[in-house]
């Protein structure tokens, strides 16, 4: 390891430093060649040029210097204009300080070894970082100002550097820097993180699932802040008919609102939805921008969802507060949406659970009531409807959803049928069936698009009165 002071000679006349290991390169001392040498041999026309020369005092400097941490290597990178930050990161020398302070120590050591080095004209712009490290304070000021209104404990950075800057820095660092020295991008990120840590308490930096994502354009110094969403899992019970699961944009104005008479400026076909009855108290409590609702399937607007409820994940976008008591939040939702929607089993979740919720196909239990075209004997009705238990249905895409569903025939199994009740021309029964079964069409057949059907086995018209989801067997 090289000494951290001027070179000295031992009693036997040898230089007491490790730089002599590079003697095969014909260096006779640790001092740089005198600055007065101005005669430069004219290069032949076919001399090879690698594009790595740097201009110093009006002349081209391209020493065959050893890489850092050799003293002559450090002297070389100083002469080409390396800033203190870059000098420390490529210098390969251990000092008590880091960053610019560490580089200043290396520079002072080099000056003490070579008195002429301090007098040399140093370029204003660092060839490695183009003085980018001078903007760390400015960038951190912008980050703190942009995140000041948000609660967070983890942060992740993304830095964009111009391609030519990365290539130029890599060329100089690999040729003249110490082996294993850090590239510009991670070093710049570390400098920003250290400055933030010194000014913001309790923040840590992660590579995935951060509370806040920061992206920085090093060319323009633009700082963009992306507050990552929060996810809450739960189950909801819809107790009242006529409420859609998610927001339903106004058909007349397509959600634009304004002077629309149909929606009275709300932009909504229905003023209430399960999404907002649950999401609005959450959005207000966490001071968020908006919510998205992800349910395990959905029931029709005129269908209730009972039992233990339908699993869902609520995505809270742009929350300024990231902590709340979920038990108290559940009570607030149930109180404000009393008689309409209830939630239970709330817990914190993650984005990947949205995919699980969307992809899970669970059997469901229903109770349905319909009116037959004529009164039929109870035994005949019971026997006919029971015959559908265990049958596989072939269901073409129903007319009522043909505008948003692909036209194809789906096969769905009716697992069981029970609790058949006949009251005059009104009939009610419960069934359990495969996910994706169109239960209303099972009853009225949708003009023969579903077969077999209750209409088919009873031999009479059937009009659905109501339908309830009794349970979703997702566990």
Q: What angle do CA 209, 210, 215 make, to 5 degrees?
A: 115
The residue to which tokens 């100083």 are assigned = 78
- Residue 247: Cβ-neighbour burial (10 angstroms; 0-12, 13-18, 19+): buried
Number of helices followed by number of strands (H, E) in the chain: 12, 16
Return d(Cα 283, Cα 143) in angstroms, integer: 24
Residue 163 exposed, middle or buried by CB count within 10 Å (0-12, 13-18, 19+): exposed
- Which residues is 372 bridged to in the sheet? 462
CA distance 294 to 358: 7
Write the DSSP symbol of residue 38.
-
* DSSP string computed for 446-463: TTTTEES-HHHHHTS-EE
Q: Which ranges of 326-398 does DSSP label H, i.e. alpha helix?
A: 326-336, 352-359, 378-386
Told to judge if 300 belongs to the known catalytic residues of this protein, a careful annotator would answer yes
Task: Say which of 170, 287, 300, 425 is annotated catalytic.
Answer: 300
- Cβ distance 287 to 319 under 8 Å? yes
Q: How far is CA 161 from CA 117, 176, 215, 298, in A?
A: 31, 21, 11, 46
Encoding tokens for residue 210? 């951060």
Q: Using CA atoms, how far apart are residues 415 and 393, in angstroms rounded to an integer?
A: 11
- The three-state secondary structure class of 107 is helix
Q: For residue 200, how far is the Cα from the chain centroid?
A: 22
CB 72 within 8 A of CB 66: yes
Residues catalogued as catalytic: 300
């Amino acid at each position: 390891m090289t000494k951290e002071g001027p070179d000295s000679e031992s009693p036997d006349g040898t230089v007491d430093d490790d730089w002599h290991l590079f003697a095969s390169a014909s260096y006779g001392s640790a001092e740089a060649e005198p600055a007065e040498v101005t005669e430069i041999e004219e290069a032949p026309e076919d001399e090879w040029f690698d594009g790595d020369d740097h201009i110093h005092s009006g002349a081209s400097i391209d020493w065959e210097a050893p890489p850092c941490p050799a003293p002559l290597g450090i002297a070389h990178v100083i002469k080409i204009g390396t800033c203190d930050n870059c000098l420390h990161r490529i210098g390969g020398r251990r000092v008590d300080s880091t960053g610019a302070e560490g580089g200043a120590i290396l520079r002072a050591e080099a000056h003490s070894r070579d008195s002429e080095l301090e007098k040399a004209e140093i370029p204003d712009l660092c060839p490695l970082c183009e003085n980018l490290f001078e903007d760390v304070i400015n960038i951190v000021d912008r980050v703190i100002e942009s995140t000041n209104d948000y609660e967070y404990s983890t942060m992740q950075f993304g830095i964009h550097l111009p391609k030519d800057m990365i290539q130029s820095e890599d060329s100089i660092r690999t040729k003249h820097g110490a082996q294993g020295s850090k590239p510009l991008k991670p070093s710049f990120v570390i400098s920003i993180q250290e400055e933030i840590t010194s000014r913001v308490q309790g923040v840590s930096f992660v590579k995935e699932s951060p509370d806040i994502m920061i992206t920085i354009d090093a060319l323009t110094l633009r700082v963009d802040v992306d507050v990552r969403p929060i996810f809450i899992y739960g189950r909801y019970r819809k107790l009242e008919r006529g409420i859609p699961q998610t927001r339903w944009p106004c058909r007349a104005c397509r959600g634009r609102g304004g002077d629309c008479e149909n929606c009275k400026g709300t932009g909504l076909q229905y003023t209430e939805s399960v999404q907002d009855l649950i999401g609005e108290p959450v959005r207000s409590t966490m001071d968020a921008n908006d919510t998205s609702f992800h349910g395990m399937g959905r029931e029709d607007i005129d269908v209730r969802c009972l039992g233990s409820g339908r699993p869902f994940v609520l995505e809270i976008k742009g929350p300024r507060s990231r902590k709340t008591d979920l038990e108290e939040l559940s009570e607030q939702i149930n109180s404000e949406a009393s008689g309409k929607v209830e939630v239970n089993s709330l817990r914190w979740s993650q984005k990947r659970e949205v995919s699980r919720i969307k992809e899970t196909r669970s059997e469901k239990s229903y109770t349905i009531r319909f009116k037959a075209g004529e009164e039929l004997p109870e035994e005949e009705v019971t026997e006919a409807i029971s015959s559908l238990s265990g049958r596989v249905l072939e269901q073409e895409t129903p007319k009522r959803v043909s505008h948003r569903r692909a036209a194809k025939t789906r096969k769905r199994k009716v697992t069981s049928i029970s609790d058949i009740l006949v009251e005059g021309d009104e009939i009610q029964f419960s069934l359990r069936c495969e996910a994706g079964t169109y239960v209303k069409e099972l009853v009225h057949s949708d003009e023969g698009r579903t077969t077999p059907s209750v209409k088919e086995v009873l031999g009479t018209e059937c009009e659905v009165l109501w339908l309830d989801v009794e349970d979703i067997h997702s566990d």
